[in-house]
Amino acid sequence: MHLFSNILGVFVFDKNFNVVDKMLFSGIEDCKNKEKYIEELVAKHKEAISPDSSGLKKILLYFKDAKFKDEFYNKNIQLAKFDIKNSVRSDILLIQAISSIGEIDKSINILTKVLREWYALHNPEFSAACASHEKFAEEIVNKEKSELLNELNINMPDSIGADLQQEDLEPIRRLAHQICDLYQLRKSHFDYVSSVMDELCPNTKAVCDVLIGAKLIEHAGSLKRLSSMPASTIQVLGAEKALFRHMKTGAKMPKHGLIVNHPLISMAAEKMHGKIARALADKISIASKVDYFQGQFIGDRLRRELEERFG
Amino acid sequence: MHLFSNILGVFVFDKNFNVVDKMLFSGIEDCKNKEKYIEELVAKHKEAISPDSSGLKKILLYFKDAKFKDEFYNKNIQLAKFDIKNSVRSDILLIQAISSIGEIDKSINILTKVLREWYALHNPEFSAACASHEKFAEEIVNKEKSELLNELNINMPDSIGADLQQEDLEPIRRLAHQICDLYQLRKSHFDYVSSVMDELCPNTKAVCDVLIGAKLIEHAGSLKRLSSMPASTIQVLGAEKALFRHMKTGAKMPKHGLIVNHPLISMAAEKMHGKIARALADKISIASKVDYFQGQFIGDRLRRELEERFG
């Protein structure tokens, strides 16, 4: 007696390869939980075993019959659809959200460049005095030229900016308004990424903060892939160009990739960077493994150890 | 007797180069209208003439005195400020506005790319069916997945998109909303460009429409520079790369630059492109010259001639 299962159901064949018993799957969910059906049939036919290769050949010949064709075709499509539908895990959503933050940053930069050039025709003094893009856009939306100059202790007539009509200022204000909205959108996406990470990878988040953690996962492709990387790979993730230059030409090995923006590294002295990056990558590697296998929360301890050593 | 004027005022010197009469300027406006003062002094001192080169040297020695230094310094700064302030003409505003439209288009493209990828996790069927970026963003903001699938005659359970939670859909909707806002901003900037062109260059606008006209002025640097260009330059404006490749390697001469998007060209048969581009560039050259020297409105006639010949 042989036991055989495929996408249609679970079958028991006798030694002449005729079907003696079967349980057909009604939908894809049954197929995904086929163990239950197999156990049931094994209990009924205790002598049923998996076929050897010559037996398998004969069983497959049985299913070659044209009457199964449509059913195989439809069930396989259903199975593929089911798998695609259920392939969306929260790290895919996380990667989309963090990549949208990257593109929003790009948009903000190119639009602010235009805004600064355009507004400088009217008020070059303020353009020069305000370094923050976000504050720049906000102030233009909310304040008149005279107010902005007052804050800089400059009299209106001393300004070398042109006196523009309201109708010429209106499009500039609208652009500034849009840039403020983009900053708002960035913040709300940031909060979303942060909340997804609370569920998905609290340890990684605790060790390397929201942005760096999310970018590491984005770069690796998934939390699973990040968790399977050695610490030395995580250390230079995002610095592939420098890494391959090092391997090809013997140039200096990169000390760090994406993690360079971590406060522990960016606030340390230059000569400590390599050492801290190595220790940090170690901890991230541990944290991501704990996250992937859904272990306990140890992120705060890992972070504290780093801070006590280098902070 | 010698008459001499500089940034300080208008002076009359006797033949020993002592000042016998003078009118000092109180501000930059006076300096800009010095003709009035010169006329007044000439009327009083009929024998006063412009100094020859040896006389000029002695007059300049007189002004070398340290007592004038501060006044020269301050007046020159005022003059420079005045000139900068008044250098903003409406074609500079036009160029800023059209360049902002270009950057808004870039932002829309990179953000829509993210949006399509992100939303396709949830509803790949609609992503594939909707080609227009603008409509895509609008529909996502306004409609649920089930409504969008209904329009495509697809049942909800047949969709291979994941069933996302509302909190996972919210950031996607916000992004789509932002893209809609960017389209709105683009429209309002377009209207602004159009209204500026009505004042600045109605003929160019009539011949080659808003976007192409504004881009030509942006590319040339100003209406003045565009109007001084030969028609053959206007024809390939924006195709510099192909032009220099032609000159360097003898590759094919480009038939058209920015004007390739003009409806007369884009809707004509391929083999007519060169001919139409030549005629169109001719008319644009005429129109921009008329605009720069503020002649009468002949744009509609120029356009009609083109349309009768090629339309």
Enter the pTM of the model: 0.83
User: Do B38 and B77 reside in the same domain of the chain?
Assistant: yes
User: Is residue B160 located within the same domain as residue B259?
Assistant: no
Q: Tokens representing B132?
A: 């227009």
Rounded Cα–Cα distance for residues A106 and A100 (Å): 10
Q: Is pLDDT above 90 for B230?
A: yes
CA pseudo-torsion sign B107, B110, B113, B117: negative
Question: Residue B95: in which H helix or E strand, if any?
Answer: helix B90-120
Instruction: With a threshold of 0.90, tell me whether the complex ipTM lies above it.
Output: no
What string of DSSP letters covers B39-59? HHHHHH-TT-B---HHHHHHH
> Which has more pLDDT, B176 or B59?
B176
Q: By CA distance, what is A187's nearest residue in B?
A: B171
Q: Are residues A77 and A94 in the same domain?
A: no
Q: What pLDDT is stored for residue B23 in this prediction?
A: 85
Contacts of A174 in chain B (CB under 8 A): 185, 188-189
Q: Is the pLDDT of residue B285 over 80?
A: yes
For residue B164, the SS3 value is coil
Name the domain boundary from B63, B85, B107: B85
Chain A, 226-285: which have a CB under 8 Å from a chain B CB? none
Q: Do A48 and A7 share a structural domain?
A: yes
pLDDT, tens digit, for every residue of A175-192? 999 999 999 999 999 999
- Distance of residue A119 Cα from the nearest chain B Cα, in angstroms: 9
A311 pLDDT more than 80: no
If contacts are CB pairs under 8 Å, which of residues 83-112 in chain B contact chain A? 84-88, 92-93, 96-97, 99-100, 103-104, 106-107, 110-111
Residue A210: pLDDT band (50, 70, 90) is very high
pLDDT at residue B94 in the model: 94
Q: In the predicted model, what is the mean pLDDT of chain A? A: 90
B177: left (phi over 0), alpha (psi -120 to 50) or beta: alpha
Residue B211 or residue A63, greater confidence: B211
Contact B59, B51 (CB under 8 A): yes
Looking at A168-177, A191-200, A236-245, B78-87, which range is the least confident one?
A: B78-87
Q: Are residues B280 and B248 in the same domain?
A: yes
Average pLDDT over residues A140-153: 89
| Confidence tier at A99 by pLDDT (50, 70, 90) | very high
- Cα of B96 to nearest chain A Cα, Å: 6
* Token representation of residue A54: 């010559």
Q: For A28-43, how does the pLDDT look when each residue is reduced to its tens digit (9 = 90+)?
A: 888 888 888 888 888 8
Per the CB < 8 Å rule, is A93 touching B182? Answer: no
- Selecting from B113, B161, B171 the residue whose C-beta is nearest the C-beta of A85 gives B161
Give the per-residue pLDDT at B47. 80
A19: pLDDT strictly greater than 90? no
Neighbours of B164 (CB within 10 A): 17
A236 and A284: one domain?
yes
Shared-domain flag, residues B113 and B183: yes
* B185-212 CB burial, b ≥16 within 10 A, e <16: bbeebbebbbebbeebbbbbbbbbbbbb
DSSP per-residue string spanning chain A:
-EEEE-SSEEEEE-TTS-EEEEEE-SSHHHHHTHHHHHHHHHHH-TT-B---HHHHHHHHHHHTSGGGHHHHHHHHHHHHHHHHHTT--HHHHHHHHHHHHHHHHHHHHHHHHHHHHHHHTT-HHHHHH---HHHHHHHHHH--HHHHHHHTT--GGG--S----HHHHHHHHHHHHHHHHHHHHHHHHHHHHHHHHHHH-HHHHHHHTHHHHHHHHHHHSSHHHHHTS-HHHHHHTT-HHHHHHHHHH-PPPPS-SGGGGSHHHHTS-GGGHHHHHHHHHHHHHHHHHHHHTT----HHHHHHHHHHHH-
CA-based nearest distance A308→chain B, Å: 37
One domain for residues A106 and A174 = yes
Which whole number is the average pLDDT over A245-257? 90
pLDDT bracket for residue B68 (50, 70, 90) = confident
Residues B74 and B96 occupy one common structural domain: no
Q: Which residues share a beta bridge with A4?
A: A11
Domain end (from B25, B56, B85): B85
- What average pLDDT does the segment B54-77 reach? 86
Q: How far is A15 from chain B (nearest CA, A)?
A: 41
pLDDT band at A163 (very low <50, low <70, confident <90, very high): confident
Mutation site, A100, A145, A192, interface B, largest B CB count within 10 A: A100
What distance in Å separates the CA atoms of residue A85 and residue A92, rounded to the nearest whole number?
A: 12
Res. B15 pLDDT band, cuts 50 70 90: confident
Residues B179, B207, single domain; the answer is: no
Question: What pLDDT is recorded for position B190?
Answer: 96
Q: Are residues A112 and A58 in the same domain?
A: no
Percent of chain A with pLDDT over 90: 53
Q: Could you tell me if A242 and A254 are in contact, meaning their C-beta atoms sit under 8 angstroms apart?
A: yes
Q: Encode A94-116: b = buried (16+ Cβ within 10 Å), e = exposed.
A: bbbbbbbbebbeebbebbbebbb
Chain B nearest C-alpha distance from A228 (Å): 25
A155 neighbourhood in chain B, CB within 8 Å: none
Q: φ, ψ for residue A19 (rounded to 5)?
A: -75, 125
Residue B46 clears pLDDT 90, i.e. is over it:
no
Which residue among B84, B161, B188 places its CB closest to the CB of A174? B188
Summarize the confidence of residues A124-131 as an average pLDDT: 90
Is residue A20 very low, low, confident or very high in pLDDT (cuts 50, 70, 90)?
A: confident
pLDDT of B311 > 80? The answer is no
| Helix, coil or strand: residue B154 | coil
pLDDT, position B281: 95
Mapped onto helix, strand or coil, the DSSP state of residue B11 is: strand
Which domain does A189 fall in, by range? 90-193
Q: With bands split at pLDDT 50, 70 and 90, how would you rate the model's confidence at B301?
A: very high
Which pLDDT does position B138 carry in this prediction?
94
Tens-place pLDDT, residues B106-139? 999 999 999 999 999 999 999 889 999 999 999 9
Answer whether B160 sits within 8 Å of A81, measured CB to CB: yes
Structure letter (DSSP) for residue B156 = G
Give the whole-angstrom CA distance, residue B32 versus residue B85: 14
> If you ran DSSP here, which 8-state letter would residue B115 be given?
H
pLDDT band at A304 (very low <50, low <70, confident <90, very high): very high
CATH number at residue B184: 1.10.287.4070
Q: Does B157 touch chain A (CB under 8 A)?
A: no
Question: pLDDT value at position B201?
Answer: 94
What pLDDT is attached to residue B176? 96
Total domains present in chain B:
3
Confidence of residue A85 (pLDDT cuts 50, 70, 90): confident
Say if residue B261 is in the same domain as residue B300. yes
A78 in contact with B, Cβ within 8 Å: no
| Three-class secondary structure of residue B198 per DSSP | helix
Last residue of a domain, one of A193, A211, A239: A193
